[in-house]
Structure 1
Amino acid sequence: MEDISETTPILSPTVSAENEEKKEVIVFARQQRAPICTLPIEIAVVLYFLSMSAGMPILSQYVYERTATEFNATAEINVTCSENDTDLDKTIQRNASMKMFWLNLSMMGPSIVATLFYSSYSDSIGRKLPLCLPIFGLAVHYISMFLVTHFSADIRWLYIPFLFEGCMGGSVTFIAAAFSHLSDRTTTEQRSFRIIVMDFCMGFTSALMNLLSGYIIEGLTYSYTFLLLFAISVLCLIYSLVFISETIKRESEAKHKIWKNIKRCFQVFFSEHHRRRKKLLTCLMLVLLCAPVVSRADIITLYFRTRPLCFSRIKIGLFNFGWLISSYAGGITLTALCRDRIGDTGLILVGCLSISLSTLLNAFTTRIVEVVLVVLLSSFVVLPVSMTRSFASKLVDRSDYGSIFAGIGCLQSISFLLFTLAFDGLFAATAGSFKGSVFILQSFMGIVSLFLAVLLIIWSKKAGRLINNP
């Protein structure tokens, strides 16, 4: 009997693989009874990120200002930009940074376990549970933050909603479920572009809320801003429950496969085929290095609020808007124009180069013109994580989509947790000397990712094709 290798077609020559895959997508989509009206998953993503993305930079500013008041200072007048308050500047930055770290830790720790459980389990019970639980956790989070800010309660009360949101899976579980749902309904030819479109939805809504956050805070105060975000999250939950179709038929023995599904999140990356295994493990390394660099809103906020830039709330919102629009618009444009020419791995390479250059310049940014250059150089920073998701999903069977995205999501949580510790700790330690040290570290991570992307390109060429279809 002929040996079957990684590249041996499984379908007979008389059957069109493309048509077969399209039929499989249709079957997956019809396995469950349709909801009242089936609408795109992207709308749920937009609503979720409208609510979620504004929370961290707004909370960073709130914690910063509350910390300033603890030292009889006022962040409203940018006391940390005063030449006479250098010691106070260091103390406020250090305390605010560490408070944000411990809050992030209280959420990211439980979310690592939750992501493994909910996302991998979705291959057996469906996508809607891991899609809706994080939204519910976010809603509880925001109503709790409204109460804390409205009554000026101790910041330590925030640990409860952060912990609860982590137990519900957090944003990583939501993203994993959304990408699994999208992969169920697309072919490999469509997937790269649809994934970057979904990432653009995330980026645009994040940019919009970052732009408006300063104005919203000024007009509504912190407490009513969190109440508004709570209302958006409730709307997202209703939409997801009513209008998102289920793509997976629930297995009768699903409850007996919990541990098996969790183990599958790790096993899926250790394929029996050597070439496939090393590609999947390289994908994990890329996510580990690139994901925390892209998710750096709290560090940017603290960095720009202080000397020499002394950005106000409005200016921070404008910067975040420009940075996110630049990165996601650049990513989707390059994907649309060049994916067929350079493949997923080529896009990953460009994104890693963008990360290393933009963060290196960010370390030495002292003027507005340099801030603009940082925004321009960040045009492709989202590509490594987005295209890595697309690339990895093409290396596994459809029945493993939940496991592959759960594994990637879990690693994102771990990397965010570890590098948040490193970034916040380094920023606090160097606040009085060279605050750009944290961005030097991020640039080095981008350079290592660049090397990994080159390896993927070499391996892909040896396989005889670029990575539109691994």
Structure 2
Amino acid sequence: MCQGSICPWRDPLPRLQVWTWIEPVVASTQVATSLYDAGLLLVVKASFGVGTSSNHSSSPSPRGALEDEQQRAISNFYIVYHLVMGLTPLLSAYGLGWLSDRYHRKVSICVPLLGFLLSRLVLLLKVLLDWPVEMLYAGAALTGLCGGFSAFWSGVMALGSLSSSEGRRSLRLIVIDLILGLAGFCGSMVSGHLFKQMVGHSKQGLVLTACSVSCATCALLYSLFVLKVPESKAKPRKAVDIVPGTVGRYDTLDPDQTDKQSVVRPPPPPATAKPKQIIIGLLFVGAIIYDLAVVGTVDVMPLFVLREPLSWNQVQVGYGMASGYTIFITSFLGVLVFSRYLQDTTMIMIGMVSFASGALLLAFVKETYMFYIGKVFVILQLSLTLTGVVTSTLYNKIYQLTMEKFIGTCFALSSFLSFLAILPIGIVAYKQASWLQPGDITEK
């Protein structure tokens, strides 16, 4: 058993045991997810590639035309796939959260893990039985109906909070987030090599998909039979916890704490009510604009690297996906360092500027090394990335329409929107400095 200095999330009240750790579930689930994401892209590419080659076997066509047709087919597949994956959790995620709060904390973890396992099984069966690509939509629907990643991650955060003390909770949540990134990085690094194990055979991708199913199965079995929910013990608090995240710091609310709510405080001056509403509105505007930039770029990037000028193979695709997971490492280090010296809005703008700069470089990528230079800026972002079904569809359509003219249109648009999103955040930072009153500064 490690010492408290090595495992800072350990706490004498309650005393943590190995079976209360959520980290093995997070690690195995993310390895399975990274293998699945790479396998899905490569399997779909291989499926549409076979169809394209057979359709054009009698009349030869330029390589560029065949690539464009394949890219449109893959892009159309991902449009429907992201629609199914993004909309179906709306039917179940809230209900799972309610059941988890009312009955058992593991509900919001085990049910999404079951959905993850089923979707990976669908991909494995597609490789084994040569199912049509449309069957993969069923796997996305099963994942969404079981709650998806949103329900799973909310359950992970809840269980991680319960198994840590108030003083160590911030660091515990950051460590869980870091483990997620490290597991995804390792899985993506080996994904291309595993996919190549069956090259030349009809069951291409069998080893990769089988490994993904195995990791997902281990995560589900561990959560069902090993993972225990720790008992929470109420404890008087002296101050509100400050939890650092990828967008800075935010106050956590403890439902067990009722004494603080009963303290009578003087009402705030009427003049400060409107500025706070303006700040909230500006933050929402900045987040929405930034979301338009991020989601579209992330969804189009795997398609971009498959065709000229990059034309990546299976191993290079895995390495490229692995580079995206380094954002968790940089976020972990950045929050630990910058949160001591910079304001939240300053860290948000740092993330937006880095993403906008990286997206602008990606718009003019011609060689592989240029892609990684752009990724260096992208992975420095510290801002929250939301999901957007409409954005994914829009960017895929823009990519299809402009691939023959200027293939970097999506990335140039993303860079413009990212820089545009900086404006409301900068206004918030300026207004906060001007509206700050001496009474607003409190001892933490």
**Could you tell me the TM-score, scaled by structure 2's length?**
0.76
User: Can you give the 5+ residue segments of structure 2 that lack an aligned partner in the other structure?
Assistant: 1-10, 199-203, 234-269
Is the partner of 2:339 in helix, strand or coil? helix
Displacement of 1:450: 2.1
Q: What is the rounded CA distance, in whole Å, between the counterparts of 1:134 and 1:189 in structure 2?
A: 30
Structure-2 separation of matches of 1:134 and 1:218: 29
1:244-284 deviation line (CA, Å, top 9, x unaligned): 425679xxxxxxxxxxxxxxxxxxxxxx9666665555555
* Corresponding residue of 2:229: 245
Question: What is the correspondence of 1:24-43 to structure 2 with a 5 Å cutoff?
Answer: 37-43=18-24
Q: Which residue of 1 aligns with 2:408?
A: 436
What is residue 9 of structure 1 aligned with on the other side? none
CA contact (8 A) 1:57 1:301 kept: no
- Give a deviation string over 1:170-209, Cα, whole Å, max 9, x none: 1122122223333455678755554443332222222222
For residues 229 and 93 of structure 1, the distance between their equivalents in structure 2, rounded to whole angstroms, comes to 25
Tell me the residue number matched to 2:342.
Answer: 342
Q: For residues 199-224 of structure 1, what are the alpha-carbon distances to aligned partners after superposition, in whole Å with 9 as ceiling and x for unaligned?
A: 32222222222211110101153233
Match of 1:450 among 412, 422, 431: 422
Listed as ranges, the matches of 1:405-416 within 5 Å are: 412-413=386-387, 415=388
The separation in 2 between residues aligned to 1:48 and 1:281, in whole angstroms, is 36
Asked if residue 182 in structure 1 is aligned to residue 182 in structure 2, the reply is no
Q: Counterpart of 2:193?
A: 215
3-state SS in 2 of match to 1:127: coil
Deviation at 1:113, TM superposition (A): 3.2
> Shift of residue 166 of structure 1?
0.6
**Corresponding residue of 2:240:** none
Following the alignment from structure 1 to structure 2, what is the Cα–Cα distance between the partners of residues 423 and 105? Answer: 13
The 3 A distance-change label for structure 1 pair 287 and 179 is farther
Residue 56, structure 1, aligned to residue 37, structure 2: yes
Q: Distance in 1 between matches of 2:156 and 2:278?
A: 26
1:352-431 equivalent positions in 2, closer than 5 A: 352-381=352-381, 383-385=382-384, 412-413=386-387, 415=388, 417-431=389-403
**Larger RCO (CA within 8 A; separation ≥ 6):** 1
- Say which structure is richer in helix: 1
Contiguous gaps of at least 5 residues in structure 1: 1-25, 75-81, 250-271, 387-411
Cα distance in structure 2, aligned partners of 1:279 and 1:193 = 28
Q: CA deviation at 1:125?
A: 3.7
Match of 2:215 among 211, 232, 256: 232
2:112–2:148 CA contact under 8 A, matched in 1: yes
Report the TM-score when normalising by structure 1. Answer: 0.72
Aligned partner of 1:169 in structure 2 is 147
Cα distance between partner residues in 1 of 2:137 and 2:400: 21
- CA–CA distance in 1 between the matches of 2:38 and 2:443? 38
SS in 1 for 2:131: coil
Aligned CA RMSD, in angstroms, stands at: 3.5
Tell me which amino acid in the other structure corresponds to 1:228: C
In 1, Cα distance between equivalents of 2:331 and 2:313? 28
Indicate the structure (1 or 2) with the bigger Cα radius of gyration.
Answer: 2
Report the Cα distance in structure 2 between the residues aligned to 1:450 and 1:247, rounded to whole angstroms.
Answer: 43
Give the fraction of aligned pairs with identical amino acids, expressed as a percent: 17
Question: Out of 88, 106, 130, which is 2:66 matched to?
Answer: 88
